[in-house]
């Protein structure tokens, strides 16, 4: 089997759908709980490194360089599995996360960042007290902008 210039298997490379910069999102999930930890960006080389080293590797859009999660912080992501979604435009990376995943120190980049939203449920199901969207009109809620970091180390 021949390899692409990145070293990625050509059959896999052909299945990937990338944006205009050659990137695709990587949804990162704790392997044993299913908790979503973060979303990073990869290109073919970052995916190849992830698949062959067992360490999650991403492309930093702001610094324009590769980074291996945990090389600076010590908060390593040990890869357990990688899957390509049905459209070929996103990968799911299941990891064993060491320490917090977020550069803010939170265990997940989504901790404390819930947006007000309506509570969807089948007919006859009452939303729990305090469920999102039950106490206020979501259009009137103010949304705090959080940092735009795509690449803690």
Report the SS3 class of residue 48: helix
Extents of the domains making up the chain: 10-97
Backbone angles phi, psi at 12, to 5 degrees: -70, -45
Under CATH, which number does the domain 10-97 receive? 3.10.20.810
- The pLDDT of residue 113 is 85
How far out from the chain centre does Cα 35 lie?
Answer: 11
Nearest to 34 by CA among 87, 88, 108: 108
Contact 50, 57 (CB under 8 A): yes
Q: Is 102 labeled as ligand-binding?
A: yes
Q: Is 44 labeled as ligand-binding?
A: no
Q: Which residue has the tokens 């050509």?
A: 10
**pTM score, two decimals?**
0.76
Q: Is 19 labeled as ligand-binding?
A: no
Tell me the C-alpha distance between 76 and 110, whole Å: 18
97 bridge partner residues: 77
Q: Is 137 labeled as ligand-binding?
A: no
Tell me the C-alpha distance between 61 and 41, whole Å: 8
pLDDT tens profile 77-130: 999 999 999 999 999 999 999 999 999 999 999 998 888 888 777 877 777 777
Q: Is 87 labeled as ligand-binding?
A: yes
Q: For residue 77, what are its two tokens? A: 């992501």
Nearest to 75 by CA among 117, 52, 105: 105
pLDDT tens profile 34-48: 999 999 999 999 999
Nearest to 100 by CA among 77, 68, 66: 77
- The pLDDT of residue 121 is 77
Q: What is the mean pLDDT of residues 58-87?
A: 96
Q: Is 135 labeled as ligand-binding?
A: no
Q: Which residue has the higher pLDDT, 89 or 131?
A: 89
């Amino acid at each position: 089997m021949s390899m692409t210039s990145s070293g990625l298997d050509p059959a896999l490379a052909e299945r990937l759908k990338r944006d205009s910069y050659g990137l695709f999102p990587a949804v990162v999930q704790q392997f044993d709980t299913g908790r979503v930890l973060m979303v990073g960006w990869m290109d073919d080389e970052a995916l190849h490194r992830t698949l062959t080293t067992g360490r999650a590797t991403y492309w930093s859009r702001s610094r324009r360089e590769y980074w291996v999660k945990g090389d600076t912080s010590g908060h390593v992501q040990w890869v357990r599995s990688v899957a390509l979604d049905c459209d070929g435009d996103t990968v799911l990376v299941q990891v064993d996360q060491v320490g917090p995943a977020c550069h803010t120190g939170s265990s997940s980049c989504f901790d404390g960042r819930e947006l007000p939203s309506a509570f969807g449920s089948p007919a006859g199901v009452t939303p729990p007290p305090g469920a999102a969207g039950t106490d206020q009109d979501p259009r009137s809620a103010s949304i705090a902008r959080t940092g735009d970091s795509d690449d803690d180390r």
